[in-house]
Amino acid sequence: MVNKKLEKNKKIKSGDNSDVYHHGNLREELLDIALEVLIEKGVSDISLREVAKRAGVSHGAPYRHFKDKNILLGSLARRGFNQLATELSNVISDYPGDPQKQLVEAGVVYVRLAIASPELTQLMFGGRIDGDCWDSIEEDVGENAFQSLLNIVINGLNADIYKNEDSMSIALACWTSMHGLAMLYSAGQLDISSDHFDPDSLSRMISDMLLYGLLK
């Protein structure tokens, strides 16, 4: 029995049934590889065939998880939005009882993520995902990320630190300000090696300026 199993694994490793030989989550592995391809080649040149080749699986294997390229890209974007939501939520737990600090550090986190993965950021916000796939992202994980920021704003409202009591307006002002900076970085328009454009310093300065205008 043991010898038969070993023989089967040898055949699978050699390519006879390569899409079966995976001990982890194949879907997540394919997404990891898709991100690598995205970084190397960009959105236009990413393909399910290339992802399958790098994963060492049959060309048809990715289609069990992603019916086409658009769904693959949408799944990558979902990852990005989920990470953003998590990082923004972590800011609240990192600075409990300090809504001003939460708001400033939320801006820093937003920009850091854009710099860490500019290609993914451009995919998330660049309009390259079509149709129902994008609609579901907006309704699901996109809203979760915005809700995380909104929760930070609500913490400030509960602490009575803002002169405007409209949580949505405050959250949108913060989001658009930091999003603009994040997109400039992710598009390579700002040189992170320059002292003038140090990401953490610049994002904190802009967040402080925005906060100054919001506080009572």
Q: Read off the tokens for 91.
A: 């800011």
pLDDT per residue over 124-160, tens digit each?
998 888 888 888 888 888 899 999 999 999 999 999 9
Angstrom CA distances, 162 to 156, 167, 205, 216, stand at 7, 9, 18, 5
Q: Where are the domains of the chain?
A: 2-64, 74-214
Q: For the stretch 120-154, what's the b/e string if a residue is b when 16 or more beta carbons lie within 10 angstroms of its beta carbon?
A: bbbbbbeebbeeebbeebeeebbebbbebbbbbbe
Please tell me the distance from the alpha carbon of residue 31 to that of residue 83, in angstroms, as a whole number: 14
**How much is the pLDDT for 8?**
39
Sign for the CA dihedral angle at 13, 18, 23, 29 comes to: positive
The answer to whether 91 touches 106, Cβ cutoff 8 Å, is: yes
Q: Read off the tokens for 65.
A: 């998880």
Please tell me the distance from the alpha carbon of residue 51 to that of residue 182, in angstroms, as a whole number: 28
Fold (CATH) for 74-214:
Tetracycline Repressor; domain 2 (1.10.357)
Please tell me the distance from the alpha carbon of residue 78 to that of residue 167, in angstroms, as a whole number: 25
Sign for the CA dihedral angle at 155, 180, 70, 53 comes to: negative
**How much is the pLDDT for 208?**
95
**How much is the pLDDT for 24?**
59
**How much is the pLDDT for 39?**
94
Residues of the chain with pLDDT below 50 are 1-23
The DSSP symbol for 62 reads: G
Please tell me the distance from the alpha carbon of residue 93 to that of residue 10, in angstroms, as a whole number: 48
162 - beta bridge partners? 215
